[in-house]
A and B are shown apart, each in its own frame.
Chain A
Amino acid sequence: MNSYITLTKTFIASISMSAPQDKRRKIMILILSLFAVFGVLLPVAIAVGVLVKLMTETLLPIGCQALGIQLMFHIICLFTVIFGINVIFNEFYFSNDIEYLLPWPLRAYQIVASKFTAAFYSENIMQVILVLSCIIGYGIGSKMGILNWILSILGIITLPILPLTYCAILSMLLMAFTRVIRNKDRIQKISVALIFLMVIALVASIGFLQNMDIDTYIETLASGDQTFFKVMNIIFPNVPLFVKTFSEGNIVALLAYIVIHVVAVGIMLLLAEVLYFRGVIGLTSAGNKSHKKSLDKLLSQCKQKSPAYSYFLKEVRILVRTPVFFTNCIAINFLWPIFVYAMIKIMHYNITLDFLRSQYAERNLRIQLFFLLGIVGISVLVAALNSLSSNAISREGKHFSFMKYIPVPYETQWNVKAFVGILFPAVGVLIFFLPACIIIRVPVVHIILFTLLSLMSITFVSDMGIYIDSIQPKLIWDDEMSALRENYNTFFAMAIAIAFTAIVCVGGFFLFCNTHITIGFTALILVIILAIANLIVLYLTNRSGVRNLEEQEEA
């Protein structure tokens, strides 16, 4: 037990980011934290809570009031599995501390238990907020009693345990049977590819929600067809038991809830004893050795390049060759069409390319607005989601000193990193968007305008991300995944991007719909807003960005 506690404390300590020392940075971090909490987290939590309250009130007359919150919990559990599996894989098998742990006299279950707790801790913050807001929404909607409120506390923290246990068991089973592939990079690529496929399949299959608006949904429930719930209740039995516990004050359900968790964790630890060492020992990070060129051949290819270009090549090579960076920072730029498809399905739009072409030809202003606001929203969100810029300095980790001792101005290094942060999302967005515009026969002037808006949006997010990362970069990390997931800066940048998108796109929509401004004027307003946003970030960068780098004293 002592080993477990000590190990867990150590792992959790390595997750946290060091606090800035000087007052200026402390104030900046405080402002960003307050913005993230009050500007994004709280509004999202309130929206979720209100949604659950509405569902509860709607379902109350047919006696199914708990089904709304149950649906939300199932979704939370499903997303915990999707996002958790990558984290668990990295924590269990690819973090750099494993080679130090293996020679110690530790049992496999002790390592797995500690690493699981650390992963649970790092993944749990967002879930806690969502689960809490669901419960508040349900509690208000169903006028829950005091005992029920008390009983609900249990699940706020423990709900993600079961999904994460699934991730742990799945990762141990997979790793135990990949004895042929002992190369970390290859396994990481395969596992991430599988996760991507899972996400794509999930998002693509979201089409089934097309028929699930709240009225038809209630009718389905009222008719007794609860197939979805039956399946989900088998996969996540913790959800109905937890809901029953606090909604009905059912003590038997509470006991069953506890037993299920004890059994799941017990199975995980038992499997750890049998499988963990089998999977983790012998993993190598050595790369491919074949097709080596001779020294003469290599030297014949040497050619002097500018420091900036060479630095750019270094950035790109590291991003492309590191599996975690490749999937989370590069590949993700090219996945947005799948999510747009899912959004269109969820919103019940029956949009085809032919429809868009005919509407654009008929000068349907709503469709033009859809393109105008859509390109800004997509560009901002893609650029923020890839964490390329909000992780640009943190990514250096223990090599941060390299940035400081080479005779390359900080401004140049900054600009190269910003360019990398612009290049990949710009390619990812425009490679789909421009052909779509051509197929839809969007006028050339509009295409130029959309491209300009996209580049301005991406530039804003990229520069803003690096600026945020420069305030207090996370330079201590055990593996590349930690550099991304445990870096608050990526979260701050994403929060600002989401808020920006919401304000600009929703604001733009209402402004256009409720006033008599033309589509051209709306476009002009967007260009002005993005120009101002870029200028503000540029001002901040010139004022203190480079100074942040100069003053940053390693980790």
Chain B
Amino acid sequence: MGFAGRIAGSSLLFGYVSGVFAQDAPSRFNLQHPVTRIASEIYSMHTLMLIICLVIFIAVFGVMFWSVFHHRKSRGAVAANFHENTAVEIAWTVIPVLILLGMAWPATKTVIAMKDTSNPDITIKATGYQWKWGYDYLQGEGEGIRFLSGLSTPRTQISGAEAKGESYLLEVDNPVVVPVGKKIRVLVTAADVIHSWWMPAFGVKQDAIPGFIRDTWFTADKEGIYRGNCAELCGKDHGFMPIEVHVVSADKYTEWVASQQAQATSASAEDTREWALAELVERGGKVFAANCAACHQADGKGLPPVFPALDGSPVVAGDKAGQIEVVLKGRAGTAMAAFGSQLSDAEIAAVITYTRNAWGNKSGEAVQPADVIAGR
């Protein structure tokens, strides 16, 4: 953890803090326990900076409090009349510059290391959506895997109807899985507004900018489950789009890749077959809860005027081609996202069928994956 970290570790305050909270418990007073080289460098650099700042603070305010107690009028202090001293003034301009140079040196080395995204073992694209993350494994073992990852904490825990779980607001339905000790390059982008992919234990935070791709990297040295959040205000549910990364052994990673690929095969079969109405509504209810309910609400009433109601909506009551168009391509200038790139044909067909047969909407009509393919 570097020289500064060791000084801090041995000092009383930090000894207390790290003694009370074991390594894997969530951090409460300091940066999270680092599991990458970059995060360790940041951790030590912060400790070093904190110590330097504390020393200066104590020195300067030691002088001030000496004055406060000893140079009081009530203690008979008579004011001196000096008001400048060139030597002192030069000293307290030059010495801080030297201290700053000392701080800038390690920081510069880390900045350059953080930017080195060359030669990754695996490349993953992370796309920010309002309000979930989408992941595509683009290169390396697991290439071709893609999934959406959203908050899995039940709404009942948030409203207080149910006791809050241990990983409250920091748990997702489909976590990112990566092998330990491999260099992972993350391409970060967004589909609607700016988000930010932040994993504190890795020392990685990269804004996800719609229309642009930025990259960052990490090599996790320790297996485990690591949790982070979206770090850029992205609208209503900004606080509810966590990031969860599972760092696993190479063997477990290979197993996971195989299971994901098997799922993908069965999912593509779904897109080509004909579905029964009840089957579509049941599947659509799940898709709706995961992707639509945040804005349009579970009861379909929405939050007008920003998030319109679907219950009784003319779009939902109208021709199915019109609704397929909106769901696939979104509505420009509003929060309605283009789900064509996020959901499969079967999922879109199911969720449209659900909205056309839920609440007060009773069309009795089934929208098939083939209809969605025609609309693409």
A binds B: no
Give me the interface of B with A, judged by CB distance under 8 Å. Answer: none
